[in-house]
Structure 1
Amino acid sequence: MRAYICHNPDAGIEDSHDKKAIKDALRLAGYDTEYHSTRKKSFARDLAKFRARDADILVIAGGDGTIGKVIGALKDRAVPVALIPLGTANNIGRAFGTAGLPHVLCESWHPHELLKLDVGKAEGLWGSATFLETFGLGAMPRLMSDGDKDGTGLIGAAALAYGRKVLRRILKTAKPFRVDITVDRKRVTKSVLGVEVMNIAYTGPALKLAPAAAADDRMFDVVCFDAGRRKAMMDWVEAPRGAPPASVYRGRNVSLRWRAAPQRLDDELKPAQTDEQTVHLSFEPEPVRILKCWLTPEPSTRSPVSKSWRNRKRR
């Protein structure tokens, strides 16, 4: 089995995340490896030449930004993609229940069990681009621009907690803006603090903003941070249990029209403009195939533990 590795050497904080560890983990699982650093100047040119016949799997080791950039640039989507999430939030990995040390993940992939990941397409005056996670306006793009000011050096849970703290501060002071939303030809105009058009369930600092979203249903979840529910959204961000207090619209084709709000496409940020902005969101014809990980928890068929048993004292 041949593995074509796309690795961001700046991602991760442990020795198990460096180049040697990634290659050793794949060799331990029985793969011959061809290693490529995403930081190498020729990486984009090399990836453009890649075809499915060149390897049995394509391995992406890095954070959500790395995964999005590699898949967005992938010309031949017939090759199965294996994920080794090494970032902070790892929202794409979370969507597939994929997490753990590289040497554990590499031995857990099911080579013949594939899951689908739809690839979103955004079209605006700036051109066309693909995305995996979300297209957002307002609050979350502001988090991207403000979140690094005092959070440099934080890792793991501390980084996620800091991101949620900053988001709550942004929601507290955010000025509402109006946005026209068209979802499958149905239009609504709202006053919002932010909008996130979700392709998967998670975004930002590991927030499950769209719990009903599926990575393979070719449906967007348009999540609106309603201006009138500011405090409720702030409370949810602090303790994000259950569905967020937001308006949600689902559909295959989405158009947004707004002004004076920053935008983001996954981790690519564009500042607010005074002129009216429009974006059209749809899906690429071909999804990406993701290798299933046996570590993914299966739905339990067992009956829930009774309250009386939980409260029973040990003898």
Structure 2
Amino acid sequence: MKIEPTKIQLIHNPTAGAEEHEAEHLLEMLKAVGYRCNYSSSKKKILKKVATDVRYIAVAGGDGTVRKAILAMLDKKLRYKRPVAILPLGTANNIASSLKIEENLRLNAEAWKKERFQKLDIGVAKTRKEEEHFIESFGFGLFPALIKWMDEQPRTPSEDPDDEVKQAHHALLHLTKHYEPIKASLLYDGKEVNDDFLMIELLNISRLGPKLQLAKADPGDGMLELIVIKAKQRPILIKYLEEIVAGKKPVFPIKSIQVNHIKIAAETKDIHVDDELKETSQHTWLINLLPNMVDVLLTS
């Protein structure tokens, strides 16, 4: 009796990764491992249709492509919902790294057959007028400033991803030394904190920005990891980043706080939603989670 290959929907960012990550090579690799693929480019309308016999939605790209695919899937009717498999091709790959997903694409795809799943929560940040969904993180302060700085830098297609990460580390160290703190009020677990902050972050995964592991986060536990760095803690953050820039691997020195609901009022127009910089006229945000929205295939 002939065993039919498992059918998957492949969403691919054609601008991510090296030559061997082009669509033709990926499709050949997946066929060799035992999959039939329906292909769609992330640069076009993704998930326009998902066949009923598709078992997984495989996403080949960086964190932005993974986020785009998952949010598009959740925006569709229930028949589009499938487990998500990640083939990490981006610069940081924070989602894949936080889940310890295999970087070798062939070994990664072979591991899908074991069907080990991780539940993934989706973060929700709301104001009276706005609503944002996030998979990685949502925050104020230094990281929106870093994204803005990186967006203003000239990019070349041949730029080494590791060089880009190192450049971001240097930029973050510089910003940390000179960033003007923001005033904010945080209300969670019956506590209210009012202070001047360099950074306020809510993490659903362990890593943030240029491959910085800031917490031990379980993205399916119904909790967010709150990281707050007050202005008076600037020297601690500078020392940590100086060690990063020097090529060391220090442990992040500020302990995270687990929350599942928080109200933040911050005097800033800049926020970030995952790796996207956004401007807002709203200052008060309510942040919580939609639990266990997606199954992600693990590889180890």
On whether the aligned pair clears a TM of 0.5, the verdict is yes
State which of 23, 27, 31 in structure 2 corresponds to 1:27. 31
Question: In structure 2, what is the Cα distance between the partners aligned to 1:237 and 1:31?
Answer: 43
Q: Structure 2: which 5+ runs fail to align?
A: 1-5
Question: In structure 2, what is the Cα distance between the partners aligned to 1:186 and 1:235?
Answer: 29
Question: In structure 2, what is the Cα distance between the partners aligned to 1:22 and 1:262?
Answer: 38
State which of 10, 17, 32 in structure 1 corresponds to 2:21. 17
Q: Could you tell me which residue of structure 2 aligns to residue 68 of structure 1? A: 67
Q: Could you tell me which residue of structure 2 aligns to residue 58 of structure 1? A: 57
Question: In structure 2, what is the Cα distance between the partners aligned to 1:247 and 1:259?
Answer: 24
Q: Could you tell me which residue of structure 1 aligns to residue 272 of structure 2? A: 264
SS in 2 for 1:72: helix
Change (3 A) 1:271 1:151: same
Given the alignment of the two structures, is residue 86 of structure 1 paired with residue 89 of structure 2, yes or no? yes
Paired residue type of 1:266: D
Question: In structure 2, what is the Cα distance between the partners aligned to 1:203 and 1:256?
Answer: 20
Contact between 1:184 and 1:252, CA under 8 Å: does it hold in 2?
Answer: no
Q: Could you tell me which residue of structure 2 aligns to residue 306 of structure 1? A: none
Shift of 1:151: 5.8
Shift of 1:265: 0.6
Contact between 2:220 and 2:292, CA under 8 Å: does it hold in 1?
Answer: no
Shift of 1:150: 3.6
Question: In structure 2, what is the Cα distance between the partners aligned to 1:79 and 1:139?
Answer: 35
Contact between 1:5 and 1:60, CA under 8 Å: does it hold in 2?
Answer: yes
Contact between 2:122 and 2:290, CA under 8 Å: does it hold in 1?
Answer: yes
SS in 1 for 2:92: coil
Contact between 2:146 and 2:172, CA under 8 Å: does it hold in 1?
Answer: yes
Shift of 1:102: 2.2
Given the alignment of the two structures, is residue 124 of structure 1 paired with residue 116 of structure 2, yes or no? no
- Measured against aligned partners, the alpha-carbon deviations of 1:198-219 in whole angstroms (never above 9, x if no partner) come to 1111010000012x21111111
Q: Could you tell me which residue of structure 2 aligns to residue 206 of structure 1? A: 211
Number of equivalences? 285
Contact between 1:137 and 1:261, CA under 8 Å: does it hold in 2?
Answer: no
Paired residue type of 1:32: R
Contact between 1:16 and 1:101, CA under 8 Å: does it hold in 2?
Answer: no
Q: Could you tell me which residue of structure 2 aligns to residue 181 of structure 1? A: 186
Question: In structure 2, what is the Cα distance between the partners aligned to 1:284 and 1:224?
Answer: 22
Q: Could you tell me which residue of structure 1 aligns to residue 3 of structure 2? A: none
Given the alignment of the two structures, is residue 109 of structure 1 paired with residue 112 of structure 2, yes or no? yes
Q: Structure 1: which 5+ runs fail to align?
A: 297-315
Shift of 1:50: 3.4
Shift of 1:160: 0.8
SS in 2 for 1:181: strand
SS in 1 for 2:298: strand
Change (3 A) 1:286 1:116: closer
State which of 245, 254, 258 in structure 1 corresponds to 2:262. 254
Shift of 1:231: 2.1
Change (3 A) 1:185 1:74: farther
Contact between 1:160 and 1:205, CA under 8 Å: does it hold in 2?
Answer: yes
Question: Which has the larger displacement, 193-202 or 231-240?
Answer: 231-240
Question: In structure 1, what is the Cα distance between the partners aligned to 2:48 and 2:234?
Answer: 44
Contact between 1:134 and 1:197, CA under 8 Å: does it hold in 2?
Answer: yes
Question: In structure 2, what is the Cα distance between the partners aligned to 1:123 and 1:196?
Answer: 15
Question: In structure 2, what is the Cα distance between the partners aligned to 1:162 and 1:216?
Answer: 32
Given the alignment of the two structures, is residue 134 of structure 1 paired with residue 137 of structure 2, yes or no? yes
TM-score (norm 1): 0.84
